């Protein structure tokens, strides 16, 4: 009995120490020097396997990417207006226009430091979103799939990182998983940021 209790305590200790947050040693000092950040178009993957419907899935992933990018920018700027966070997020249209004007359609292999410089911001937010199912017009999307597809998992994963322009280094990362059901990208974003809030580097109360 004592041995089982010891194993349980050890397991709980390990789980508590494995927080899904990475912070550089000087993360708060780095964050405090920022005033304007940009949210890059997220890499969205919809966990549906259907080779014959690959193009339809790719189009839906692009839709979800745009919605998630807009939702995150809106969230940050709303909380900036309430003085909860001290940074502003660059307008999504401006971010995407600068990328488009410079013929950047994919972020794969790109330097986030160079992108921050190009966008004229202090840092960039990059993200990877794995969706169990589409959040935008999901019913219509499934109806449009004419062939069979593998049933998606019920887990949604978001990996969020912030890279500093001056050093070119990622100084904050948050990995979030949930089995919850969301009816919109906005609901997903609110749940994500509520979960990340206690470790978020741009809180006004932490500005010194």
For 152-206, write each residue's pLDDT tens digit: 446 678 899 999 999 999 999 999 887 766 556 777 778 878 887 778 899 999 8
Query: Would you say residue 198 lies in a domain?
Result: yes
What pLDDT does 187 receive? Answer: 77
Q: Is the pLDDT of residue 149 over 60?
A: no
Averaged pLDDT for residues 30-50: 90
Predicted structure pTM score: 0.79
Q: How far is it, in rounded angstroms, from Cα 157 to Cα 106?
A: 21
Query: Would you say residue 119 lies in a domain?
Result: yes
Q: Which residues contact 51 (CB under 8 A, 6 or more apart)?
A: none
Residue with the bigger pLDDT between 4 and 10: it is: 4
Q: Where are the alpha helices (DSSP H) in 82-196?
A: 92-101, 112-119, 138-144, 185-196
Residue with the bigger pLDDT between 199 and 125: it is: 125
Residue corresponding to tokens 């010194």: 208
Percent of the chain past pLDDT 90, that is, above it, reads: 50
Query: Would you say residue 12 lies in a domain?
Result: no
Query: Would you say residue 33 lies in a domain?
Result: yes
Q: Is the pLDDT of residue 36 over 80?
A: yes
Q: How far is it, in rounded angstroms, from Cα 204 to Cα 88?
A: 12
Query: Would you say residue 15 lies in a domain?
Result: no
Q: Is the pLDDT of residue 131 over 90?
A: no
pLDDT tens, position by position, 90-118: 999 999 999 999 999 999 999 999 999 99
Averaged pLDDT for residues 145-152: 44
Query: Would you say residue 6 lies in a domain?
Result: no
Total number of domains constituting the chain:
1
Sign of CA dihedral 53, 55, 61, 66: negative
| pLDDT tier, 146 (very low <50, low <70, confident <90, very high otherwise) | very low
Poorest-pLDDT segment among 45-49, 58-62, 104-108, 116-120: 45-49
Query: Would you say residue 152 lies in a domain?
Result: yes
**Domain at 173, CATH number:** 3.40.50.10610
| Domain that includes residue 188, residue range | 21-206
Q: Is the pLDDT of residue 27 over 50?
A: yes
What pLDDT does 158 receive? Answer: 87
| pLDDT tier, 50 (very low <50, low <70, confident <90, very high otherwise) | low
What pLDDT does 38 receive? Answer: 98
In this structure, are residues 200 and 85 in contact, taking their beta carbons and an 8 Å threshold?
yes
Q: Is the pLDDT of residue 136 over 70?
A: no
What pLDDT does 132 receive? Answer: 72
Query: Would you say residue 180 lies in a domain?
Result: yes
Two structure tokens written together for 126:
């990059």
Residue corresponding to tokens 């401006």: 94
């Amino acid at each position: 009995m004592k041995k089982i209790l010891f194993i349980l305590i050890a397991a709980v200790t390990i789980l508590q120490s494995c927080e899904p947050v990475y912070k550089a040693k000087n993360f708060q000092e780095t964050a405090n020097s920022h005033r304007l950040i940009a949210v890059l178009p997220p890499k969205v993957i919809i966990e549906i396997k259907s080779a014959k419907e690959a193009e339809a899935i790719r189009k839906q992933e692009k839709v979800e990417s745009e919605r998630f990018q807009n939702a995150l920018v809106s969230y940050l700027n709303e909380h900036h207006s309430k003085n909860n966070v001290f940074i502003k997020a660059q307008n999504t249209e401006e971010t995407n226009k600068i990328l488009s004007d410079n013929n950047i359609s994919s972020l794969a292999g790109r330097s986030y430091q160079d992108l921050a410089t190009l966008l004229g911001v202090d840092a960039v937010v990059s993200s990877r979103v794995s969706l169990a199912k589409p959040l935008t017009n999901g019913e219509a999307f499934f109806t449009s799939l004419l062939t069979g597809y593998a049933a998606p998992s019920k887990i949604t994963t978001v990996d969020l990182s912030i890279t500093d322009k001056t050093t070119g280094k990622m100084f904050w990362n948050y990995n979030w998983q949930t089995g919850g059901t969301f009816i919109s990208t906005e609901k997903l974003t609110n749940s994500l940021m509520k979960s990340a809030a206690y470790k978020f580097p741009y809180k006004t109360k932490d500005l010194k």
